[in-house]
């Protein structure tokens, strides 16, 4: 009985290792392809923004392009789940105002 459990546990560990490896390969491939697409001109934010790029300073232009590439890569490689994780990570870094009046949604009269 113990040998059977050990074999089953070993098979399960082998399967988990295989799945983790294929997940890493899939994510890596997806990020590489989506980065190439974003660098090639497929963008998520630029079509939504009406920005006159000639009027921007070089730093502003660079930041906007970098943010556009990051968002595009997140959307293409991870879908909406990737974007949700990225936003959640950013939002989690800021303290919440649970007890403040800013956090209340109902108006007071």
Is the pLDDT reported for residue 102 higher than 70? no
Where b means 16+ CB within 10 Å and e means fewer, 61-87 reads eeebbeebbebbbbbbbbeeebeeebe
The confidence score (pLDDT) of residue 98 equals 55
Mean pLDDT of 2-13: 81
Mean residue pLDDT across the chain: 78
């Amino acid at each position: 009985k113990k040998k059977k459990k050990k074999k089953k546990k070993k098979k399960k560990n082998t399967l988990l290792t295989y799945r983790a490896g294929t997940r890493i390969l899939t994510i890596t491939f997806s990020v590489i392809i989506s980065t190439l697409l974003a660098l090639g001109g497929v963008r998520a934010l630029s079509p939504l923004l009406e920005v006159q790029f000639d009027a921007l300073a070089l730093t502003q232009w660079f930041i906007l392009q970098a943010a556009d590439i990051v968002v595009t890569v997140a959307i293409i490689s991870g879908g909406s789940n990737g974007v949700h994780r990225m936003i959640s990570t950013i939002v989690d870094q800021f303290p919440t105002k649970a007890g403040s009046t800013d956090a209340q949604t109902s108006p007071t009269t």
